[in-house]
């Protein structure tokens, strides 16, 4: 079910459990600001999720409350993920679902890095 883009952070959401090591993940990168790991149900040959270490419900929340260092560290990590998979030249898609209209399911801010094949139109009409 889609979640609200703002509101109180639920420390028991699945990505919080992954951050605490309570649930395993296939880790790609971890640093002070972010954790990147493979999506459990990949929609493309490369499908990596990048999440901030801090407790932010969505981009709406992250963009208001996170520090400049957290924001810079997070987005640099997303770029590093794409480079790790040699996606800069062929291109890729970075998606962030925010709130109910987007269908965001996990209430911890994340972006999807998708690539490895032509991805087709941005939205299905």
Q: Which is nearer to ligand 5GP, 38 or 53 (CB)?
A: 38
For residue 47, what are the β-bridge partners?
Answer: 114
User: Is position 6 an interface residue for ligand 5GP (rule: CB under 6 A)?
Assistant: no
* Residues annotated as part of the active site: 110
- Least Å distance, CB 28 to ligand 5GP, is 10
User: Is position 105 an interface residue for ligand 5GP (rule: CB under 6 A)?
Assistant: yes
- Residue 111 — φ and ψ, nearest 5°? -115, 150
DSSP element (H, E) containing 75? helix 68-84
- Least Å distance, CB 21 to ligand 5GP, is 13
User: How distant is the alpha carbon of residue 101 from its chain centre?
Assistant: 17
Beta strands in the chain (DSSP E): 27-30, 34-38, 46-52, 92-95, 111-115
User: Is position 104 an interface residue for ligand 5GP (rule: CB under 6 A)?
Assistant: yes
User: Is position 7 an interface residue for ligand 5GP (rule: CB under 6 A)?
Assistant: no
Cα(45)–Cα(90) distance, integer angstroms: 13
Q: Which is nearer to ligand 5GP, 45 or 67 (CB)?
A: 45
User: Is position 58 an interface residue for ligand 5GP (rule: CB under 6 A)?
Assistant: no
Tell me the number of residues near ligand 5GP by CB under 6 A.
14
Cα(42)–Cα(104) distance, integer angstroms: 16
Where along the sequence are the contacts to ligand 5GP (CB under 6 A)? 14, 23, 25, 37-41, 49, 97, 103-106
């Amino acid at each position: 079910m889609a979640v609200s883009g703002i509101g109180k952070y639920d420390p028991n959401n699945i990505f919080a459990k992954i951050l605490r090591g309570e649930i395993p993940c296939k880790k790609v990168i971890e640093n002070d600001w972010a954790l990147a790991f493979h999506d459990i149900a990949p929609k493309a040959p490369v499908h990596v999720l990048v999440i901030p270490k801090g407790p932010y419900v969505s981009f709406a929340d992250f963009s208001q409350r996170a520090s400049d260092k957290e924001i810079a560290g997070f987005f640099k990590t997303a770029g590093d993920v794409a480079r790790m998979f040699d996606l800069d030249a062929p291109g890729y898609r970075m998606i962030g679902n925010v709130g109910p209209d987007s269908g965001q399911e996990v209430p911890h801010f994340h972006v999807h890095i998708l690539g490895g094949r032509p991805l087709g139109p941005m939205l299905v009409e």
